[in-house]
Amino acid sequence: MSAVLSDPSATTGIEVAARAEGQDALLTPPALAFLADLHGRFESRRRQLLAARRERQAVFDGGGLPDFRADTRAIRDGDWRVAPIPRALLDRRVEITGPVDPKMVINALNSGANCYMADFEDSTAPTWANLVEGQRALREAVAGTLAFNAGNGKAYALKPFEQQAVLIVRPRGWHLDEKHVLVDGERMSASLFDLGLFAFHNAAALARKDRGPYFYLPKLQSMEEAALWDDVLAHVERQLGLPRGQMKVTVLIETLPAAFEMDEILHALRGRIAGLNCGRWDYIFSYIKTLRAHRDRVLPERAQVTMTQPFLKAYSELLIQTCHRRGAHAMGGMAAQIPISGNAAGAAVANDAAMAKVRADKLREAEAGHDGTWVAHPALIPIAREVFDAHMPGPHQQDVARDDVQVTAADLLAPSKGTISRAGFDGNVEVCVRYLAAWLDGNGCVPIHHLMEDAATAEIARAQLWQWLHSDGLHLDDSTAVDFSLLERALLNLPARLGDRSKLPGGSRVSEAIGVLDRLTHADVLQDFLTLPAYERLP
């Protein structure tokens, strides 16, 4: 039997198969026992739900399409609301997101945003050292003791607690394992490890401060997966002596199947959910992956897949309508642009254009009825705040019911018009290789051509390449056939395009990244996640 919390000295059955600075203070015998208990109670259900994902995808690969569930119509038609939203989460008009290294944690908490999503998922490369450092940084931040010395004479320290952004932690998704922690020889769920270890060390302190703890839950595909999270959180609350519902969550709707179960996901978590979020980049990736066998739904190049595309507009408006009907926040998504600095010719003009795109994106969200939005860089906070302040005088817009919205399954699946240019094809290759090289080198959040790329945006590029190359008869807008010789030429030309690799994040891993991308694009079946095979290469 694995260890349980009631006997914190008994950690037989759990093994930590790695070493990193500071881990002994985190992975104490009681903490390990707590994690082993989570594994023992919930791992079998996680595996069953992952199997259900594969079965569902097989139906789509066979020609089926996602639809609203007949067996849950009573939930969608019912008159119910989620539990009241706590004071700290009532106004979330600007949230900043980013990885969990100490400098980022301090800068994000000090940024002036309403909330900071501390991300163990898409913007953190899950090396063991990164995970341990992230857990340490958040523990010290909650305690108010976190500081960072950059080594160049610049020191970082936290502002007083009352001036900090509200902390929201995003663990990794249900599909990921934590290979460094084994329970009875089995890898532990990365979700349970990330959330469990953070809660074990910080839940009581955050509850005393009336700050949760709060979490973002990623990549759910069904109400059953949401119900598993609800059971996990209820168990954690009992084990840590917290009141039922103390731990609040926001769910990212970033998979196509989940868009058909928004009501059901809210209902499964109705005692603790504060809102849903339009995780647009992962959602585009999921649209490609889910409909990979449907030749009539191939997406154009990424730059043309904006929120004005019919399937994305329908998804956003349905999320707003659903959340506001149930008393939950409808959070907007991330604009990928970041500030462009420097004295190079045209830099100021390019920056103005990029910031105009950010402003337009946030204006679209505010006018549609979203209750807040995401930014990836502190310099974008004033733009987002100005837009939402102008259109949202109160803490949220739940009074915007969007009764005008009538979204059907066909709307959520609508094909997109557009083209594939050579620049779009080559750009996908470059983003995949550069991001993956940086990720393999331990960096999960990478600026590329003035866009902040993370695992979600890299997944769009990777999945698009696979789909384009495996869809017969596609051509670029200059009539060039989209085939593997086009990919080969793009890869051969990439070194010249990249220039001096020593100046790139992960430049020494570029050749390795090219090999990984080449294998993934040639595979007969689209790999579910780029990070699954790449994870085996991380320390």
pTM of the predicted structure, to 2 decimals: 0.96
Residue 10 has pLDDT above 60, yes or no: no
465-487 tens-digit pLDDT: 999 999 999 999 999 999 999 99
Tokens coding 142: 């909650």
Q: Which helix (H) or strand (E) segment is 387 a member of?
A: helix 381-391
pLDDT at 41: 98
152-165 tens-digit pLDDT: 889 999 999 999 99
Tokens coding 126: 């899950």
pLDDT at 342: 76
Check if the beta carbon of residue 214 is closer than 8 Å to that of residue 195.
no
C-beta pairs of 204-209 under 8 Å, 24+ apart in sequence: 204/240, 204/241, 204/242, 205/142, 205/143, 206/142, 206/167, 207/242, 207/246, 209/161
454 is an active site residue: yes
360-409 tens-digit pLDDT: 999 999 999 999 999 999 999 999 999 999 999 999 999 999 999 999 99
**Of residues 170, 302, 364, 462, which has the active-site annotation?**
170
Q: What is the mean pLDDT of residues 435-440?
A: 98
Check if the beta carbon of residue 95 is closer than 8 Å to that of residue 145.
no
Tokens coding 153: 């004479």
371 is an active site residue: no
Helix (H) and strand (E) counts in the chain? 19, 15
**Of residues 37, 122, 194, 454, which has the active-site annotation?**
454
Q: Helix 422-440 and helix 510-522: axis angle, to 10°?
A: 120
